[in-house]
């Protein structure tokens, strides 16, 4: 095996990675750098890919959100995208498109995990912590838990 990759392999490897799935610029840069390619060469290639629209942080973010939104709230999605090198403006734009469905997604996540209103305060706290770990905002959790409380109030009457 070669100890150092050939410069001509850079384009081929980058295209293979992009053929599998969308990548953010930072992800692709990191992966190519780990293999041993020169940073300057990687930057030039990624600039070319962006000009040709083969590489797009916006498209990556849209794809990532589409794949993960059923299981995660906007806080977690934003965090995950930042970890992958996507800029704040792109994250905000992509998440604002999906903001309307956040409450419904939270209800579906909760229903799949728990399916029944909390039995007591400790159970409610556990369910809220779970929803927070999934990245749902406090407001969304509050609105969803209001539904649970209303369901319990109907049962106790």
Tens of pLDDT, residue by residue over 8-67, are: 799 999 999 999 999 999 999 999 999 999 999 999 999 999 999 999 999 999 999 999
Q: List the domain range (segments joined by +) for residue 149.
A: 101-156
Q: Nearest CA to 26 among 100, 83, 90? A: 83
Q: Judge whether 91 lies within some domain.
A: no
Q: Judge whether 2 lies within some domain.
A: no
Task: Say what the pTM is.
Answer: 0.78
Q: 126 with 110: CB under 8 angstroms?
A: no
Q: Nearest CA to 13 among 32, 34, 36, 41? A: 32
pLDDT over 80 (residue 122) = yes
Mean pLDDT of the chain: 87
Q: Judge whether 84 lies within some domain.
A: no
The count of structural domains within the chain is 2
Q: 65 with 94: CB under 8 angstroms?
A: yes
**Alpha helices, H only, the chain:** 7-20, 25-35, 39-51, 57-68, 74-83, 88-97, 102-113, 121-133, 138-156
Q: Judge whether 61 lies within some domain.
A: no
Tens of pLDDT, residue by residue over 60-115, are: 999 999 999 888 899 999 999 999 999 999 999 999 886 668 888 888 888 889 88
CATH number at 146 reads 1.10.10
> What pLDDT does 156 receive?
36
Q: Judge whether 66 lies within some domain.
A: no
């Amino acid at each position: 095996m070669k100890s150092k990759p050939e410069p001509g392999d850079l384009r081929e490897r980058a295209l293979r990675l992009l053929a599998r799935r969308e990548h953010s610029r930072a992800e692709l840069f990191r992966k190519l750098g780990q293999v041993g390619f020169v940073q300057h060469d990687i930057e030039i290639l990624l600039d070319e890919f962006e000009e040709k629209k083969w590489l797009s942080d916006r498209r990556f973010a849209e794809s990532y959100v589409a794949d993960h939104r059923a299981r995660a709230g906007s806080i977690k999605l934003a965090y995950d995208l930042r970890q992958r090198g996507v800029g704040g403006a792109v994250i905000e734009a992509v998440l604002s498109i999906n903001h309307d469905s956040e409450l419904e997604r939270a209800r579906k996540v909760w229903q799949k995990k728990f399916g029944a209103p909390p039995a007591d305060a400790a159970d409610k706290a556990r369910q809220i912590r779970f929803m927070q770990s999934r990245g749902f905002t406090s407001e969304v959790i509050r609105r969803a838990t209001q539904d649970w409380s209303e369901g319990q109030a109907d049962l106790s009457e």
